[in-house]
Amino acid sequence: MLLPYCTAVYMPFLTVHNAFDFAVHKSQLTASVEALRDQNLLKIPVQGTFQHPKDTMAFGRIFCYVLGAFVFNAMAISAASAPVVDLGYATYSGSFNETTKTTEFLGIRFAAPPIGTLRWQPPHPPATTPGIQRALTQPATCFFAGQGNAATTPFRDNKFRKRDPFFPSEDCLFLNVYLPGQLSQNKRLPVVVWIHGGGYMAGSASGFTGKDIYDGKDLIRASNNGVVVVVIQYRLGLFGFLPGKEVKKNGGLNAGLLDQQFALQWVQKNIHKFKGDPTQVTIWGESAGAGSVLQHVIANGGKTSPPLFRAAITSSSFLPSQYAYGDRIPQILYNDVVSQTNCSSAFDTLACLRKVDVQMLEAVNANIGNSGFFGTFVFVPVVDGELIRERPTEALREKKVNGEIILTVTNTFEGDLFVDKKTPPDVDVANYVAQLFPNFGAREIAAAAAQYKHLGSPVFQVTAIMGESIFICPTYYLLRAYGGRGFKSEFAVPPGGHGNDVAYYYPSGTPNGAPPFNNPAFVKAFSQSFMDFAMALNPNVKSDTSSITPRWGLWAGDNEMLFNRTEGGLPDIRAIKTSRALLERCDFWQSVGALSAQ
């Protein structure tokens, strides 16, 4: 009978959100007990009987007090051991994992909510928040859209389809920090900043499914406790990448990239409070995350100052068409957003959009994103003239890059995921090229198709076109830009498709807690190569000398490290030569960059 009574009467005291709450509730409970003493209500029963008519209730109160004291003592011990960091604008309390011996802070705000008048503006500093904020759960995700799944591109006839919206949160500029050991240890460690993928339309600091896919503890384990990990979020879809002349005039183009840059500046300012060394930052991403890394490599004409990172890693460098902000297709996108939100008649259409209900905006986000050509993404970075000053392929050709060195990896069959499974074997290759690059004329379409006419069946050809033009070739452009200051690898473990490598960086995020090819020697060799690079700028400086990876060579035009498995299920890790035919096809794609807008 007493436990329900305690729960009903005294549990409000036990709802503690921060150190201030704890102090208030403890003083309230203590005052209550002292009041009971003053009223002579705390007589102890003698010989199994109660000597006072109010003793029964008093005994219950004594029991509750003892229980409360026990809980508060436990909470006091926990509060005393919880890691706390003062960032100036807010103080955050994280948690220490006794099993993994790591500390984590989840959901640290690094920018003000980009809502209302701050929509489509560069990120602003967060407001000062009093008290201690609990950083114990994954943050709210940014609004998602989706990849195109139409048979044709809307940018030849400007026809968009509709789908049901998905509703996360517009207030989503948060990051997670993971570090080995206790916060109190003074050693400064290299820092890995992970930028999630998702076509600039989806993804979050935790992944895509609600499961913690991007668990920084996996990278810490792969580094043998040698790095601090930061996982960031950024605005997506039309919220992060709305193009158009109006946004240029009265807003911030590439808001999602600006969010990322703001997070990197946050790292420079604050990571030392989490045992990180701001002079040893490596930025790493997969798919659109790798594309984001590419954008920061060429940002500010390759002269970002002060520097935000010393090294870069790309896993499947994503480089779709990146038009100038006011070109035909970006302006079509802006105008369609205005039309679908009933802002067409407004004098200031961007001001009107800032007042549109977020659910309507997300519905439009979904409609337009879903209407793109299958496997493509419509709201992506643009050349804005400030952060991104010229087409990426042009900037890379001119070797205008930030950072000292790069490590890259591509998957063997990058295009498989982005070609409709219903595509007929005899698909019209020329028409596919025309849909993928709507600014191509007949000459470029024919030339692209000719590059692939001897490469298997038509459906295999279009798969290769998608994979090479958008993911694989941009990786070689990056390597060339660094002029011999880079490493190249290929992930070929079957099926060798886009994203298959992620399970080996973050095995905890897989359904079974392990990657598909769960060979310990392979997993260690593959994952540690990236962490060794982040720590020493050289994957040959091994944190674990038992790694079976042979010696890497700096990229010299045609040398790579292959990560594969044999038919017998053994690791197959060896140096290989890049296909000369592949490099020639990449030369072709670079030559038509002005029309592909890459």
Asked if residue 181 and residue 33 are part of one domain, the reply reads: no
Give the integer Cα–Cα distance in Å for 479 and 163: 40
> What is the average pLDDT score of the chain?
87
User: What are the φ and ψ backbone dihedral angles of 586, each rounded to 5 degrees?
Assistant: -65, -35
Question: What's the confidence (pLDDT) of residue 186?
Answer: 77
Asked if residue 167 and residue 56 are part of one domain, the reply reads: no
Asked if residue 295 and residue 406 are part of one domain, the reply reads: yes
What is the tens place of the pLDDT at every residue in 467-493?
999 999 999 999 999 999 999 999 999
Q: Please report whether residue 334 resides in a domain.
A: no
Q: How does residue 148 score in pLDDT terms, banded at 50, 70 and 90?
A: low
Bigger pLDDT: 525 or 81?
525
What is the tens place of the pLDDT at every residue in 172-226?
999 999 999 999 877 899 999 999 999 999 999 998 755 679 999 999 999 999 9
Long-range contacts of 10-15 (CB under 8 A, 24+ apart): 10/64, 10/67, 10/68, 13/68, 14/68, 14/71, 14/72
The answer to whether the Cα torsion of 205, 210, 216, 218 is positive or negative is negative
Residue 437 has pLDDT above 50, yes or no: yes
Residue of 334, 556, 321, 571 lying closest to 439 (CA atoms): 321
Transcribe 77-119 into DSSP letters: HHHHHS-EEE-SS-EEE-EEETTTTEEEEEEEE-S----GGGT
Asked if residue 286 and residue 161 are part of one domain, the reply reads: yes
Please give the DSSP secondary-structure letter assigned to residue 330: H
Asked if residue 583 and residue 445 are part of one domain, the reply reads: yes
Q: Please report whether residue 338 resides in a domain.
A: no
Residue of 111, 97, 81, 293 lying closest to 179 (CA atoms): 97
Give the integer Cα–Cα distance in Å for 201 and 203: 7
5 contacts 41 by C-beta, under 8 angstroms? no
Asked if residue 26 and residue 138 are part of one domain, the reply reads: no
Residue of 138, 365, 371 lying closest to 232 (CA atoms): 138
Q: Please report whether residue 248 resides in a domain.
A: yes
Asked if residue 488 and residue 573 are part of one domain, the reply reads: yes
Q: Is 505 helix (H, G, I), strand (E, B) or coil?
A: helix
Q: How does residue 144 score in pLDDT terms, banded at 50, 70 and 90?
A: confident
Question: What's the confidence (pLDDT) of residue 184?
Answer: 81
Active-site positions read 287
Transcribe 346-361 into DSSP letters: -SSHHHHHHHS-HHHH
**Section 139-147 average pLDDT:** 85
Taking phi first (over 0 means left), then psi (-120 to 50 degrees means alpha), and beta for anything else, what does residue 140 get? Answer: beta
Q: Please report whether residue 73 resides in a domain.
A: yes
Give the integer Cα–Cα distance in Å for 142 and 120: 14
Asked if residue 125 and residue 63 are part of one domain, the reply reads: no
Q: Please report whether residue 329 resides in a domain.
A: no
Residue 117 has pLDDT above 70, yes or no: yes
Please give the DSSP secondary-structure letter assigned to residue 386: S
Alpha carbon 424 to chain centroid distance? 34
Asked if residue 150 and residue 21 are part of one domain, the reply reads: no
Whole-number percent of the chain with pLDDT over 70 = 82
Q: Which secondary structure element, helix H or strand E, spans residue 406, and what is its range?
A: strand 405-411
Q: Please report whether residue 87 resides in a domain.
A: no
245-271: string of b/e by CB count within 10 Å (b at 16+)? ebbbeebbbbbbbbbbbbbbbbbbebb
504-531: string of b/e by CB count within 10 Å (b at 16+)? bbbbbbbeeeebebebeebbbbbbbbbb
Prior bond of 306 cis (ω within 30°)? yes
Q: Which amino acid is at 419?
A: V
Whichever domain contains 576, its CATH number is 3.40.50.1820
Q: How does residue 279 score in pLDDT terms, banded at 50, 70 and 90?
A: very high
**Order of strands, sheet of 486-491, starting from the edge strand that comes earlier in the sequence:** 95-97, 102-109, 174-180, 228-232, 189-195, 276-286, 311-315, 405-411, 486-491, 559-565, 571-577
Strands 95-97 and 102-109: antiparallel
Question: What's the confidence (pLDDT) of residue 319?
Answer: 99
Bigger pLDDT: 5 or 353?
353
User: What are the φ and ψ backbone dihedral angles of 34, each rounded to 5 degrees?
Assistant: -65, -35
Tokens of 42: 């705390």
Give the integer Cα–Cα distance in Å for 2 and 214: 44
Q: Please report whether residue 531 resides in a domain.
A: yes
SS (H, E, C) 203-251: CCCCCCCCCCCCCHHHHHHHCCCCCEEEEECCCCHHHHHCCCHHHHHHC
Question: What's the confidence (pLDDT) of residue 231?
Answer: 98
Q: Please report whether residue 371 resides in a domain.
A: yes
366 contacts 439 by C-beta, under 8 angstroms? no
Q: Is 552 helix (H, G, I), strand (E, B) or coil?
A: coil
Asked if residue 407 and residue 514 are part of one domain, the reply reads: yes
Residue 514 has pLDDT above 60, yes or no: yes
Question: What's the confidence (pLDDT) of residue 459?
Answer: 97
Size of the chain in residues: 598
Asked if residue 69 and residue 132 are part of one domain, the reply reads: no
Q: pTM of this prediction?
A: 0.85
What is the tens place of the pLDDT at every residue in 17-63?
333 343 334 434 443 444 434 434 343 333 344 344 444 444 445 44
Residue 516 has pLDDT above 80, yes or no: yes
What is the tens place of the pLDDT at every residue in 407-420?
999 999 999 999 99
Asked if residue 166 and residue 54 are part of one domain, the reply reads: no
Question: What's the confidence (pLDDT) of residue 55?
Answer: 44
What is the tens place of the pLDDT at every residue in 526-571?
999 999 999 999 999 999 999 999 999 999 999 999 999 999 999 9
Q: How does residue 80 score in pLDDT terms, banded at 50, 70 and 90?
A: very low
Q: How does residue 356 score in pLDDT terms, banded at 50, 70 and 90?
A: very high
Transcribe 285-329 into DSSP letters: EETHHHHHHHHHHHGGGG--SS-S-SEEEEES-------BTTSHH
Question: What's the confidence (pLDDT) of residue 44?
Answer: 38
The answer to whether the Cα torsion of 165, 167, 169, 173 is positive or negative is negative
- CA dist list (Å): 285 to 77, 195, 214, 233, 295: 38, 5, 11, 12, 11
Give the integer Cα–Cα distance in Å for 283 and 264: 9
303-333: string of b/e by CB count within 10 Å (b at 16+)? ebeeebbbbbbbbbbbbbbbbbbbbebbbbb
Give the integer Cα–Cα distance in Å for 489 and 487: 7
Residue 475 domain boundaries: 105-323+350-596
> Residue 140 class from Cβ within 10 Å (0-12 exposed, 13-18 middle, 19+ buried)?
middle
371 contacts 148 by C-beta, under 8 angstroms? yes
Tokens of 139: 């943050």
> Residue 73 class from Cβ within 10 Å (0-12 exposed, 13-18 middle, 19+ buried)?
exposed
The answer to whether the Cα torsion of 558, 563, 566, 571 is positive or negative is positive
Residue 64 has pLDDT above 70, yes or no: no
Domains in the chain, number: 2
Among 49, 81, 113, the domain boundary falls at 81
Could you identify the residue written with the tokens 């604008």? 89
Residue 14 has pLDDT above 90, yes or no: no
Q: Which amino acid is at 376?
A: T
Residue of 44, 25, 48 lying closest to 36 (CA atoms): 44
